[in-house]
């Protein structure tokens, strides 16, 4: 029976006992396990295949967690989890109650930060390094960051600060020429120059030693040799940018050559000052289909690999809200040449591939640079262009100052399409779009909308593109629901009454409208006739309708898939307070004041009381508190 090295590993220190041949065998086992994971459920695949050797080399050379390791954009964490005591639990990854698909300090002391957003690893690592120095603790600090995250503004802020402080810090630049999609920007071209000079990694140290030994006499001759030396470095050196910032640059190194990786890391382990080790890896390494198409295999649908063929595990594929929005954006760009689309390295996630293909001059992928993307959109809007910025809700948080300063304060007509608003399921707390209602509602000039179903999406986008100020449309990572109704036109600050009622009202902001309609059907069976309102707007509110319902109905329940702190329900309470009305008969349903863990979206909604049963149960409690009994009256359909 073939030896299973993964099953024998208890701690990363066990790697130090393995031969190089055994480490190569372990790398193959890890890749086999990654294939097993994606045969069970959607999971990050290509990125994890690409860092197997790098992960093993790091744990072989350093002593974590005494030393510090931070993985930037932690979806590449699976090999690390396997060799830090969590291999027996890998079958639970991305399931409710199981391992998270990102680093999680609650799981293991080997995970230092819950890194789901890109670019922050160097800053955090520098803080750890300075903290250990102040506390006189002996340790080494390493950050692994990808080339896709490198353009993030915070990366350069950290490089600049670390270059000044000259602390002992090792940054591994994991260069696979990809973010989720192929990387973009001038920095990508800069890094590619290093790939064009593969001999540099072998001859660099010899040339530098030779140049350092050249004798110089007199200031003029010294200047000449210095110029020659710098010219040679500029010609050969892929890391001049980093060295000018105060970092020593080493590389490039083959990130799949375990022996070389271990040798380089051992050589650099005790070198003083900030260091960058430039490592070339291949996203999807070891799995030919992922090597050929790393975008498709970033987070593929479940499949099995048989006889050299990818066989999808068939599951129903329904149209999503993202599909509907991307199609609406495409149509808007067809109709108006002033409309442009902007994404921050999420063309694939936002499903804008067709827009990129058919409107290349009006499609802008800025890379992982949300702050720049928002300010860039403001500049476009100022010039008379109508920009649509399609950015995940959780990632738009990274550009909050630009939302305030360049967009809201200037009242720029930028349209924000906030994908993944609400619960994103297995991606967990780093990716749940929980806070956009609250953080945008505070900004003057903004209009906030959320479609109740798929039919609202194109209408809301058309409305937003006609406004003279900023607008945000939030929508979930979920299949697109369609309610059977005569859809009302979108008018600023006007809600849509879906069902009238007599015993109470369910006031819904966003796609939980479908759950509310389901709750109404359950309540009718229990003798309660409630109104259901598609609020559509969180800013401005439909004040007339909400105040009428608050006066006439025995109870009012607000429903949203966002944090209750500062959310849509809070806006309703503020409105009632402004008009001197009590709110004892109002209840808010939404995300509680804590970070929500990962799990299937349906599981999370049920746990939080946001599914049809949970909403109905809340309504029954409110009805009981209002002294309502059973009623023979039934609701009447409106529209």
Which pairing describes strands 415-419 and 471-474: parallel, antiparallel, or unpaired?
parallel
Q: How far apart are CA 286 and CA 34, in angstroms?
A: 11
| Residue given tokens 């476009």 in the structure block | 380
Q: How far apart are CA 302 and CA 316, in angstroms?
A: 12
Which of 398, 474, 477, 588 does the annotation list as catalytic?
A: 398
Buried-exposed string 616-636: b where 16+ CB fall within 10 A, e elsewhere? bebbbebbeeeebeeeeeebe
Which pairing describes strands 386-392 and 339-343: parallel, antiparallel, or unpaired?
parallel
Please give the distance of CA 309 from its chain centroid, rounded to a whole number: 30
Q: Please report the sign of the dihedral spanned by the C-alpha atoms of residue 538, residue 539, residue 542, residue 547.
A: positive
Can 370 be counted among the known catalytic residues?
yes
Tokens of 84: 């830090």
Which pairing describes strands 496-499 and 530-534: parallel, antiparallel, or unpaired?
antiparallel
Q: How far apart are CA 517 and CA 501, in angstroms?
A: 12
Tokens of 370: 């949300």
* Nearest 10 degrees: Cα torsion 195, 198, 202, 208: -60
Partners of 277 in the β-ladder: 172, 250
Which of 140, 177, 283, 351 does the annotation list as catalytic?
A: 283
Which of 53, 282, 370, 406 does the annotation list as catalytic?
A: 370
Can 283 be counted among the known catalytic residues?
yes
Can 81 be counted among the known catalytic residues?
no
Q: How far apart are CA 495 and CA 404, in angstroms?
A: 26
**Integer CA distances (angstroms), 96 to 303, 432, 602, 615, in order:** 21, 14, 11, 22
The secondary structure of 620-637 as a DSSP string is HHHHHHTT----S----B
The total of other beta-carbon atoms located within 10 Å of residue 151's CB is 23
The total of other beta-carbon atoms located within 10 Å of residue 430's CB is 21
Catalytic residues: 283, 370, 398
């Amino acid at each position: 029976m073939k030896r299973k090295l993964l099953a024998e590993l208890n701690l990363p220190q066990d790697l130090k006992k393995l031969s190089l041949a055994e480490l190569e065998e372990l790398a193959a086992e890890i890749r086999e396990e990654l294939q097993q994971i994606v045969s069970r459920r959607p999971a990050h695949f290509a990125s994890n295949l690409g860092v197997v050797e790098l992960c093993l080399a790091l744990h072989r050379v350093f002593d974590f967690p005494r030393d510090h390791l931070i993985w930037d954009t932690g979806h590449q964490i699976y090999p690390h989890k396997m060799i830090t005591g969590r291999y027996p639990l890998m079958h639970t990854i991305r399931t409710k109650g199981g391992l998270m698909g990102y680093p999680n300090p609650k799981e293991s002391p080997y995970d230092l930060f819950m890194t789901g957003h890109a670019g922050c690893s160097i800053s955090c690592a520098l803080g750890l390094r300075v903290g250990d120095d102040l506390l006189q603790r002996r340790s080494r600090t390493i950050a692994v960051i990808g080339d896709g995250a490198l353009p993030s503004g915070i990366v350069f802020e950290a490089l600049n600060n670390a270059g000044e402080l000259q602390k002992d810090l090792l940054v591994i630049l994991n260069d696979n020429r990809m973010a989720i999609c192929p990387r973009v920007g001038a920095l990508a071209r800069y890094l590619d120059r290093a790939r064009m000079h593969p001999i540099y990694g072998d001859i660099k140290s010899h040339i530098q030693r030779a140049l350092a030994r050249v004798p110089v006499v007199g200031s003029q001759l010294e200047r000449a040799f210095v110029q020659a030396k710098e010219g040679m470095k500029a010609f050969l050196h892929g890391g001049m940018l980093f060295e000018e910032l105060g970092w020593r640059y080493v590389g490039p190194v083959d990130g799949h050559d375990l022996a070389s990786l271990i040798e380089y890391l051992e050589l650099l382990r005790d070198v003083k000052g900030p260091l960058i080790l430039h490592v070339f890896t291949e996203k999807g390494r070891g799995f030919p289909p992922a090597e050929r198409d790393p975008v498709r295999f970033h987070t593929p649908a479940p499949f099995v690999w048989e006889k050299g063929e990818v066989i999808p595990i068939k599951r129903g594929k329904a149209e999503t809200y993202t599909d509907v929005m991307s199609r609406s954006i495409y149509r808007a760009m067809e109709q108006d040449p002033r409309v442009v689309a902007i994404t921050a390295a999420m063309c694939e996630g936002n499903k804008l591939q067709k827009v990129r293909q058919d409107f290349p001059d009006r499609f802008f992928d800025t890379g992982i640079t949300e702050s720049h993307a928002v300010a860039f959109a403001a500049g476009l809007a100022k010039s008379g262009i109508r920009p649509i910025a399609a950015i995940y809700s959780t990632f738009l948080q990274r550009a909050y100052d630009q939302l305030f300063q360049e967009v809201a304060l200037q009242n720029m007509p930028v349209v924000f399409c906030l994908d993944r608003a609400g619960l994103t399921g297995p991606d967990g707390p780093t990716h749940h779009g929980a806070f956009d209602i609250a953080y945008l509602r505070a900004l003057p000039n903004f209009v906030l909308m959320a479609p109740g179903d798929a039919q609202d999406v194109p209408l809301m986008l058309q409305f937003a593109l006609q406004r003279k100020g900023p607008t945000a449309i939030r929508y979930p990572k979920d299949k697109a629901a369609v309610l059977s109704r005569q859809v009302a036109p979108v008018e600023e600050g006007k809600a849509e009454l879906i069902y009238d009622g007599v015993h109470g009202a369910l006031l819904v902001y966003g796609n939980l409208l479908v759950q509310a309609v389901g709750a109404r059907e359950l309540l009718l069976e229990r003798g309660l006739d409630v109104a259901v309102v598609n609020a559509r707007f969180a800013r401005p509110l439909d004040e007339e309708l909400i105040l009428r319902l608050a006066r006439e109905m025995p109870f009012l329940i607000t429903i949203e898939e966002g944090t209750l702190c500062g959310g849509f329900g809070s806006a309703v309470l503020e409105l009632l307070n402004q008009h001197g009305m009590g709110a004892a008969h109002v209840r808010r349903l939404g995300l509680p004041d804590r970070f929500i863990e990962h799990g299937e979206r349906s599981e999370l909604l049920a746990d939080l009381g946001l599914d049809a049963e949970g909403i109905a149960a809340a309504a029954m409690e409110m009805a009981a508190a209002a002294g309502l009994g059973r009623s023979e009256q039934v609701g009447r359909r409106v529209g």
